Amino acid sequence: PKITFIDSGGESRTVDAVNGSTVMEAALQNAIPEVEAECGGACSCATCHVYVDEAWFEKTGGPSPMEEDMLDFAFEVRPTSRLSCQIKVSDALDGLVVNTPARQG
């Protein structure tokens, strides 16, 4: 499935992601800027914060309670904020668009 990352400067990068991996892993594998993922996907750093495109938020769903607690530490949280390590890639998310924040933490 394809995922498009749009950085805070408006630059867009579309990558191929692997089903069953996470949006965060797709970002790291493709050297997407503005995603740091310091904890490696354990939902304990909040530096993989992204804004899910409004049109996709229903499909990705909102954060779990644990993720919501971690999001308290993220920079400029918005209603569509998610931790990208907690979004599983699947065919249902083919075409997903996420925006990355200007900074993490």
Which listed range, 8-16, 31-39, 54-62, 92-100, lies at the site for ligand FES (CB under 6 A)?
Answer: 31-39
Residue nearest to ligand FES (CB): 85
- Does 50 contact ligand FES by CB under 6 A? no
> What is the SS3 assignment for 80?
coil
Q: Which of 4, 21, 41, 56 binds ligand FES (CB under 6 A)?
A: 41
Measure the CA–CA gap between 8 and 54, rounded to whole angstroms: 16
Closer residue to ligand FES (CB): 39 or 77? 39
81, 99 Cβ separation under 8 angstroms = no
Asked if 77 is part of the footprint of ligand FES (rule: CB under 6 A), the reply reads no
Query: Contact, 93 vs 101, CB < 8 A?
Result: no
Among 3, 17, 24, 52, binds ligand FES (CB under 6 A): 24
Q: Is the dihedral of CA 83, 41, 105, 99 positive or negative?
A: negative
